[in-house]
Amino acid sequence: MDLTPIFKARSLAVIGVSLTNNRHPANVIHAKNHLRSRIKVYPVNPRGGRLNGDRVYENISDIASPVDLAVIAVRADLVPQTLADCAKSGVKGAIIISGGFAEAGRSDLQDELVRIAREANLPFIGPNCLGMLAPDYVDTMFLPPERMIRPQRGNVALVSQSGGIIVDQIIKLDAEGVGIAAAVSIGNKAFVREIELLDYLDQREDVGVIVFYLEGFEKGEGRRFVEAAQKASTPVVVIKSGRSEAGGRAVSSHTASLAGDYRTFSSIMSQYGILEPKDELQLVAAVEALSRYNLCIDKNIGIITGSGGHGAMAVDACDQSGLETPQLSEKTRNLILESVSPSIRGIASVSNPVDLTGSAVDEDFVAAAKALIEDDDIHCVMLLLLPYLPGITSDLGARMSYLAQAAQKPMIAYVPLLEKYRMLIEGFELNGVPVSSSIEGAVMMAQALRRSQPCSLWR
C-alpha cells in the first residue's frame, strides 16, 4: 500500500466546500493549502461556481490535471459515491473527514467505503477523522490557522485515532522545540490502519520516532501491531486509552473501537520492548529524547547536580525505572576533584550523584561532565541544573551541549520551566540535548533511550 501520495501530495481536491460558509471544514482546508502551501488545490462542489475567485468544480472528474489526494467532507450518505468518483478519476489517496459511520451505528456505510477502496486500490484515511498534517507538503486538518500552531518540521511522526489528542501532542512537543515529520488522525481507521502506517513511516528516512495513540484493535490485531513495532527500525512509542471498563465504553462510542484487555496488551508490549508512557508528561519526555538521539543506551546513569535533594530524588526515580546509578570509579572521582574549583573541593560529593553544591560555577559543571563523559561505565549523563544558583550562567546549556556532541555520549538535562531561564534551556535544545522540566521526565528520557528500538538489549 503506497501512502506517499497522501503524505507528500502535489495536488489536492477538497470535496464539499461551501459557497456560503467559509467556516465549513472543507473551506478551512482549502484556504490553508491554497494560501499557505505550494500544493495545487481544487475546490469541488456539485453546484459549481466560484470560491474566492477560483473555479469550483462540479465533480472531481472535471479536473483535467492528475489529483494525488482528495479530502472528502460531505454528508455520510454521499461519501461512498464520492469515493467511487475519486477512484474512477485516478485519485491516488483520500482522507475522509465526514462522520456518521460505524461510530454512529452505520457500519454498512463504512463497509461500502472499504469495498470501493479495495476494488480500486485507493487507500483512504478515516472516516470520522481530523485530517493529516505533513509540514512542507499539505495540511488537511480542519482547524482554523489562528487556533492552531504551525509546528516546525522535525522527525517525529504522530498517529492517533483522536484528533484532539494529536493536536495536544503537537502543541506540547512544539513547546519543547520538537518538530513534526507527519501527524495523522485516523478516526475509525476503516481502511488504512496502524500497521500500514507503521510500515510506511518506518521506511521514511526523515522519521526518527513514531508515536501512536491507540484506542483499540480488531481481534488479534493488537499482537500483530506489537510484533510489527518490535521489528521496526524506528523507535515506537505507544500510549493507550480504554484501560478501564469505563474507558473502554468511551472508546467504543468515540471511534467504534474494541478496547480489549488492556493488561494483556500492555504486558505484550513490555515483553517486546515497546515503550509505553503512562501519561502525557512521560510521553512528551520520551519522544523528545528519542527525537534527539538515534541510539540505544545501557542502564548506568551519571548524575550531576547542585542540590543533594534533587540528586536523591533522581536516584530514586532511576531505581524505580530500572536504571542504575553506580558509584564512580576512584579514577573518575579523583579527576572531578582535581578539576573543580578549590572553593568546593572540600564540600562537593563525588560519588553518584555528583553534588557540586550551591556554590558551584559553570566551570565546575563542565569539569564534572567531562569526567563522566570519559567514564566508560557511565552510559548517559544527567544534569540537574538549578538556574537560581548564583554561579550558574545562561551559557551553561550550550557549553554542556558541545561536550556531549563531541563525545557522542547522550546527555539529558533537568531545568525548571520558567521564562527567565529560557536562554539556558534553549542552549540545550538548539544543540540537540533534550530538557525536561521535571526530574521524573528527565529519568523517563533516559529510560526511553534504553528501551528504544532497535536495541540489542531488548531483542
Ordered by start, the domain boundaries in the chain are 1-130, 149-276, 295-458
Q: Which of left, alpha, beta for 148 (phi over 0: left; psi -120 to 50: alpha)?
A: beta
Q: What is the pLDDT of residue 220?
A: 85
CA distance 132 to 184: 4
Ranges under pLDDT 70 in the chain? 242-260, 452-459
CA distance 421 to 15: 47
- The residues facing 301 across adjacent strands are 380
Q: What is the SS3 assignment for 304?
A: strand
CA distance 228 to 399: 40
Q: What is the pLDDT of residue 263?
A: 82
Q: What is the pTM for the complete model shown? A: 0.88
Q: What is the pLDDT of residue 242?
A: 59
Answer whether 1-130 and 149-276 agree in fold.
yes
CA distances from 344 to 330, 341, 350, 365, 367 (A): 18, 6, 11, 12, 13
What are the pLDDT digits (tens) for 143-181? 988 888 888 999 999 999 999 999 999 999 998 889 999
What are the pLDDT digits (tens) for 406-456? 888 999 999 987 787 889 999 999 999 999 999 999 999 999 998 765 443
CA distance 39 to 158: 22
Q: What is the pLDDT of residue 253?
A: 47
Asked if 389 contacts 409 with a C-beta cutoff of 8 angstroms, the reply is no
Asked if 162 contacts 185 with a C-beta cutoff of 8 angstroms, the reply is yes
Q: Which residue has the cell 462540479?
A: 58
CA distances from 162 to 97, 143, 183, 370 (A): 12, 14, 11, 44
Q: What is the pLDDT of residue 245?
A: 54
DSSP string, 104-141: GT-HHHHHHHHHHHHHHT--EE-SS---EEETTTEE--
56 DSSP assignment: P
Output the nine-digit C-alpha cell for 429. 535544545
Please tell us whether the domain made up of 295-458 is placed in CATH 3.40.50.261. yes
Q: What is the pLDDT of residue 273?
A: 78
Mean pLDDT of the chain: 91
Query: CATH class for domain 149-276?
Result: alpha beta
Asked if 47 contacts 56 with a C-beta cutoff of 8 angstroms, the reply is yes
Q: What is the pLDDT of residue 451?
A: 72
Which of 255, 267, 272, 246 minimizes the C-alpha distance to 194? 255
Q: Count of CB atoms within 10 A of residue 333's CB?
A: 18
Query: CATH class for domain 1-130?
Result: alpha beta
360 DSSP assignment: -
Q: What is the pLDDT of residue 457?
A: 36
CA distance 459 to 113: 39
What are the pLDDT digits (tens) for 273-319? 788 888 888 899 999 999 999 888 999 999 999 999 999 999 999 99
Q: What is the pLDDT of residue 452?
A: 62
Q: What is the pLDDT of residue 248?
A: 46
Q: Count of CB atoms within 10 A of residue 342's CB?
A: 6
Output the nine-digit C-alpha cell for 222. 493488537
